[in-house]
A and B are shown apart, each in its own frame.
Chain A
Amino acid sequence: MTTQEESISESTIEKIKETNNILLEVKNLTTYFYTELGIVKAVESVSFNIYKGEIFGLVGESGCGKTVTALSCLSLVRFPGIIETGEIIFKGKDLLKLKGKEIRKIRGADISMIFQDPLSSLNPVFTVGEQIAEVIRLHQGVKKDVSKEKAIQMMKEVGIPLAKERVDDYPHQFSGGMRQRIMIGRALSCSPSLLIADEPTTALDVTIQAQILTILNDLQKKFDLSVLLITHNLGIIAENCQRVGVMYGGYLIEIGSVETIFKDPRHPYTQALMAAIPRLDMSVQRLQTLPGSVPDLIDPPEGCRFHPRCPYAKVKCSEEVPTLDEWTPEHKIACHFHKEINLAK
Chain B
Amino acid sequence: MFKSRSERRKKKTRKKKYKKAEELSGSQLAIAFRRFRRNRAGLIGLTLTLFIFFLAIFADYIAPFDPLEPLALETNYSPFYQPPGTYKGAIYYDQMSRINIQDGGFETAFGFSLWTYNNWNRVNLTEQGINSSSGSWAVRCGTVENYLSYDISSGEDLFFNELEFDTYLDGTNSTTLTIIISYGANKQDEETSISINLNNTWRHQVIELSARNPEEIIFTKGDGSDILLDNIKLIGGIYFSHVHLMGTNYRSQDLFSKIIHGTRVSLIISIGAIIISLILGIPLGLISGYYRGRTDEVIMRMTDIFLTLPFYFTMILVIVLIQGTQWVDNLINRLGIGTQVILIAVTFGLGIFGWMGITRLIRANILQIREMDYVEAARALGASDRRIMIVHILPNVLAPVIVVVTLALAVNILAEAGLAFLGFTDESLASWGRELNDGFEIAAVAWWPVFFPAILIVIAVMAFNLLGDGLRDSFDPRLR
Which residues of A are at the interface with B, using a C-beta cutoff of 8 A? 74, 76, 79, 100-101, 104-109, 112-117, 120-127, 134-135, 138-139, 169-170, 172-173, 183, 186-187
**Nearest 9 pairs between A and B by C-beta?**
A108-B381, A108-B382, A113-B380, A121-B373, A107-B382, A125-B395, A120-B373, A123-B374, A115-B373
Interface check B326, CB cutoff 8 A: no
Tell me the minimal C-beta distance from A160 to chain B in angstroms: 17
Are A115 and B396 in contact, CB atoms less than 8 angstroms apart? no
Q: Bound complex: CA of A138 vs CA of B391, how far in Å?
A: 13
Residue-by-residue, is B372-399 near A (CB-CB < 8 Å gives 1, otherwise 0)? 1110111111111000000110011000
Q: Contact between A104 and B384 (Cβ–Cβ < 8 Å)?
A: yes
- Residue-wise interface mask of B (95-114) relative to A, using a CB-CB cutoff of 8 A (1 in contact, 0 not): 00000000000000000000
Whether B382 pairs with A104 at a CB distance below 8 angstroms is yes
Decide if B146 is an interface residue (CB 8 Å cutoff). no
Q: Which of B17-63 contact A (CB under 8 A)?
A: 21, 24-28
Most buried by B among A106, A115, A125, A187: A125
Q: How far is the CB of B370 from chain A (nearest CB, A)?
A: 10
Contact A74 B383 (CB under 8 A): no
Shortest beta-carbon distance from A31 to chain B in Å? 16
A173 touches B24 (CB 8 A): yes
Whole-angstrom distance between the Cβ of A197 and the nearest chain B Cβ = 11
Contact B382 A109 (CB under 8 A): yes
User: Contact string, B223-238, partner A, CB cutoff 8 A, digits 1/0?
Assistant: 0000000000000000
Closest to A116 in B: B373
Residues of chain A lying within 8 A (CB to CB) of residue B25: 169-170, 173
Per the 8 Å Cβ criterion, residues 119-176 of B in contact with A are none
- Contact partner of A107 (CB less than 8 A), chosen from B21, B373, B379, is B379
Whether B374 lies near A120 (C-beta < 8 A) is: yes
Q: Do residues B380 and A108 form an inter-chain contact, with CB atoms below 8 A?
A: yes
Residues of A within 8 A of B310 (CB): none
Residue of B nearest to A183 (CB): B377
- Interface hits, B325-384 → A, CB 8 Å: 372-374, 376-384
| Bound-complex Cα distance A73 to B378 (A) | 16
Q: Which of A106, A122, A170 has the most CB of B within 10 A?
A: A170
The contact size tier of chain B is: 20 to 34
Counted as pairs of residues, one from A and one from B, with CB atoms less than 8 Å apart, the total is 75
Taking a contact as CB atoms closer than 8 A, the residue among A76, A116, A124 that contacts B379 in the complex is A76
The interface residues of chain A lying within 8 Å CB-to-CB of B383 are: 104, 134, 138
Task: For the complex formed, measure the closest distance between the CB of A280 and the CB atoms of chain B, giving whole angstroms.
Answer: 35
Determine whether the beta carbon of B24 is less than 8 Å from that of A172: yes
B33 to chain A, nearest CB (A): 14
Chain B residues closer than 8 Å to A125, beta-carbon distance: 27-28, 395-396
17 contacts between A and B (CB under 8 A): A74-B380, A105-B382, A107-B380, A108-B382, A112-B381, A113-B380, A114-B377, A115-B373, A116-B373, A120-B372, A121-B373, A121-B374, A123-B378, A123-B395, A123-B396, A124-B374, A127-B27
Q: B379 — nearest CB in chain A belongs to which residue?
A: A76
Q: Which residues of A contact B21 (CB under 8 A)?
A: 173
Q: Which residue of chain A has the shortest Cβ distance to B381 in the bound complex?
A: A108
Indicate which residue in B377, B395, B396 contacts A121 across the interface (CB closer than 8 Å).
Answer: B377
Q: Which residues of B contact A120 (CB under 8 A)?
A: 372-374
Interchain CB contact under 8 A, A135 and B382: yes
A126 to B387, CA, bound (A): 14
Q: Which residues of B contact A107 (CB under 8 A)?
A: 379-382
A197 to B377, alpha carbons, bound, how many Å?
11
Q: Which residues of A contact B379 (CB under 8 A)?
A: 76, 107
B380 near A124 (CB under 8 angstroms)?
no
B27 contacts which chain A residues (CB < 8 A)? Answer: 125, 127, 170
B384's nearest neighbour on chain A, judged by CB, is A104
With a cutoff of 8 Å between Cβ atoms, the chain B residues found around residue A105 in the complex are 382
**Separation in Å of the A193 CB from the closest CB of chain B?**
14
Cα distance, A107 to B376, chains bound together (Å): 12
CA distance A101 to B385 in the complex (A): 11
Closest chain A residue to B382, Cβ basis:
A108
Which chain B residues lie closer than 8 Å to A112 at the CB level? 380-381
Query: B382, A79: Cβ atoms under 8 Å?
Result: no
**C-alpha spacing A117/B377, complex, angstroms:** 11
Closest to A100 in B: B384
Closest to B387 in A: A138
**Contacts A123-B374, A125-B395; A187 near B384 (Cβ below 8 A):** no
A-chain residues with CB within 8 Å of residue B372 when the two chains form the complex: 120
CA distance A121 to B376 in the complex (A): 8
Known: A104-B383, A107-B382, A123-B395. 4 other contacts (CB 8 A): A112-B380, A125-B28, A127-B27, A170-B28
Q: Which residues of B contact A79 (CB under 8 A)?
A: 293
**CB atoms of A187 and B378 under 8 A apart:** no
CB-CB nearest in chain A for B370: A78
In the complex, chain A residues whose CB is within 8 Å of the CB of B374: 120-124
Q: How far is the CA of A124 from the CA of B28 in the complex (A)?
A: 8
- Among A76, A126, A139, A169, contact of B380 (Cβ-Cβ < 8 Å): A76
Q: Enumerate chain B residues within 8 angstroms of A138, measured Cβ to Cβ.
A: 381-383
Looking at B28, B379, B381, B396, which has the most chain A CB atoms within 10 Å of its CB? B381
Q: Which among B374, B378, B391, B395 has the greatest number of chain A C-beta atoms within 10 A?
A: B374
Shortest B52–chain A CB gap in Å is 30
Select from chain A the residue with minimum beta-carbon distance to B385. Answer: A100
CA distance A120 to B376 in the complex (A): 10
On chain B, the residues within 8 Å of A139 by CB distance are 382
Q: B396 contacts which chain A residues (CB < 8 A)? A: 123-125
Give A96 Cβ to nearest chain B Cβ, in Å: 16
**CA–CA, A183 to B381, complex, Å?**
11
Q: How far is the CA of A127 from the CA of B25 in the complex (A)?
A: 11
Q: How far is the CB of B399 from chain A (nearest CB, A)?
A: 9
Chain A contacts for B26, CB-based, 8 A: 170
- State the Cβ distance, A87 to closest chain B Cβ, in Å: 20
CA distance A120 to B374 in the complex (A): 6
Q: Bound state CA distance, A120 and B370, in angstroms?
A: 11
As a 0/1 sequence over residues 271 to 305 of chain B, the CB contacts with chain A under 8 angstroms (1 = contact) are 00000000000000000000001000000000000
Tell me the complex Cα distance, A79–B296, Å: 14
The reply to whether A117 and B373 contact each other, CB–CB distance below 8 Å, is yes
Which of A106, A109, A126, A139 is the most central at the interface, judged by chain B CB atoms within 10 Å of its CB?
Answer: A126
Provide the bound-state CA to CA distance between A38 and B373, in Å. Answer: 26
Q: How far is the CA of A105 from the CA of B372 in the complex (A)?
A: 22
Q: How far is the CA of A127 from the CA of B376 in the complex (A)?
A: 18
Cα separation A125 to B384 with both chains bound (whole Å)? 19
A116 — which chain B residues lie within 8 A by C-beta?
373
- Tell me the smallest distance from the CB of B392 to a CB of chain A, in Å: 6
- The residue in chain B whose Cβ has the minimal distance to the Cβ of A169 is B25
| Binary CB contact string for chain B from 302 to 318 against chain A (1 if under 8 A, 0 otherwise) | 00000000000000000
